[in-house]
Amino acid sequence: MKDPKREYADNPAGKYRFWTLDYEEYPSKPQVAGNAERKAPVMEFGTARDEDKNRYSDAAVLRREIEQIWRKAWVIVGHVNDIPRPNNFMKADIGPDSVLLVRQEDGSIRGMHNVCQHRGTILVTQDFGSTKKFVCPFHGWAWNNDGALAKIMKPETYQKSALCYDLDLPEVRVAEWKGWLFVNLDIDAAPLEDFIPQEFREVNEAYDFAKMVRVVDVRQDWHINWKTAMEAFVEAYHLEALHPQMNPFFDAYDAQIDLYDNGFARTIHANLRPTPTQPSYRPEGLPDECKVFLGEAGVEDMPADIDGVRPALIVAKRRNQDRIGMDYSGFSDEQLVDNWNSSIFPSCTFSYVPEGVLVQRWWPHPHDPRITRYYYQVYVMPGIQEVPSYMGVPPEADRSGSKVLARTYADNGDLGILGPVLAQDAMFIPRVQQGVESLGFKGSVFSDQEIRIRQFYDAYYRMMEG
């Protein structure tokens, strides 16, 4: 192995950002199109203390965020397999707005505002369902599931001129990237292709997101600003202190961080090797986390220590891919063992391996800046059993994709449902919210390992300032 610290010394300006591994010991390194690990050019955001504390608690800031960001950006809301069949619909509540995405007879997906055009009732409160008509429970108006007005109750009671308006459900733009569904509330917005940077799509080429199915779906209110929450999930700097149980098998230190346009980012973490900062993190023997992966990949001769885990896993995954139910041919060796974490602006992260992805979203509350609507979802390749433990997939979760999974609403205090790592975060972050609002806090200072927070605010302020 190269000494990563020496490598940093050779690249002082790129400290912490030029993580590379020596993979020569792996026998089967394939040539993969797209060069998934390629390093994006460094973006500089300076080192100034970030003194805008107001953004975490001011209702006027939240209103502006909704106008300037949430009603103008493409927002990821779900997946094509959440609405697999004609007449299936899903609902997404983004701040004060609510939208429906409906699978049409011809297989296309239409987006529309989820609001009655008579007097404004929210039409649908269910998250997922199937229907040909949306009927308003207040006075009984109805719309076909393509948004066209189907019925006015007692139309003879209206003067003709009172009904001369467009009363279809207003359209919402919908676009798809690799199975993920995005909406944009701005009917004039530039297309999704312009929003998701080309480089970001290219490095993600091999991940077969479109085939994945939802196996976990939890909604919870967290009593913190949506950005306070999201910030904690775009840096792994906190792992060593806050999630020490991961130190023996998750290298949170030597990460490669890549920043792309429009607030998109990707971090590559070396999974299944210890964080190198303390010799004591090095495990005796094999941590259970490693054994689980080696077992699923069909490794017969267990390596003696953690150094053997990654090479053994790469060889076994390639050899046994049919039995595992994966096609690894598009992935590099590194991707078979590394853990990626990406930012999908404005407030979604993916944590992922070829077999599955943890999707987290921190959406704004309609009017309370101190509450975020948290969505915790895991999507996996159909049939896959083992994904990293931080994803918190219960063993009994249905991985077949044959049924559309209902969403679970968890009380704020119900942390057990989140899996052990996310529960640590959810329990802890309210302390940050309390502190950033206090007189004694003068603003954040960021390490290079937290560069994605700076990058987020760069994109954020550009949108806030229009």
Where do contacts with ligand FES occur on this chain (CB under 6 A)? 116, 118-119, 121, 136, 138-141
231 binding Fe ion? (CB under 5 A): no
- Considering CB under 5 A, how many residues would be counted as binding Fe ion? 1
CB of 164 to ligand FES, least distance (A): 18
CB of 210 to ligand FES, least distance (A): 36
Among 217, 235, 338, 425, binds Fe ion (CB under 5 A): 425
CB of 368 to ligand FES, least distance (A): 25
Between residues 240 and 437, which has the closer beta carbon with respect to Fe ion? Answer: 240
Between residues 122 and 302, which has the closer beta carbon with respect to ligand FES? Answer: 122
Which residues sit opposite 389 in a β-bridge? none
CB of 104 to ligand FES, least distance (A): 23
Provide the CB-side half-sphere exposure for 23 (13 A, CA).
22
Which partner, ligand FES, Fe ion, none, binds residue 314 by CB below 5 to 8 Å per kind?
Answer: none
Binding string, residues 380-419; x marks residues near Fe ion by CB under 5 A: ----------------------------------------
Between residues 70 and 375, which has the closer beta carbon with respect to Fe ion? Answer: 375
Which partner, ligand FES, Fe ion, none, binds residue 82 by CB below 5 to 8 Å per kind?
Answer: none
Between residues 139 and 431, which has the closer beta carbon with respect to ligand FES? Answer: 139
CB of 366 to ligand FES, least distance (A): 19
Between residues 110 and 118, which has the closer beta carbon with respect to ligand FES? Answer: 118
CB of 232 to Fe ion, least distance (A): 6
CB of 139 to ligand FES, least distance (A): 3
Between residues 169 and 344, which has the closer beta carbon with respect to ligand FES? Answer: 169
CA distances from 165 to 118, 149, 160 (A): 11, 11, 10
Residue 23 has phi, psi (to 5 degrees) of: -100, 15
Contacts of 439 (CB under 8 A, 6+ apart): none
Which residues sit opposite 350 in a β-bridge? 342, 359
Between residues 254 and 425, which has the closer beta carbon with respect to Fe ion? Answer: 425
Token readout for 157 is 């009671």
Helices 309-319 and 288-297 sit at what angle, rounded to 10 degrees?
20
Site residues (CB under 5 A) for Fe ion, limited to 63-92: none
Which partner, ligand FES, Fe ion, none, binds residue 425 by CB below 5 to 8 Å per kind?
Answer: Fe ion
254 binding Fe ion? (CB under 5 A): no
Between residues 141 and 293, which has the closer beta carbon with respect to ligand FES? Answer: 141
Task: Give the whole-angstrom CA distance, residue 6 versus residue 32.
Answer: 28
CB of 243 to Fe ion, least distance (A): 6
Contact residues: Fe ion, CB under 5 A:
425
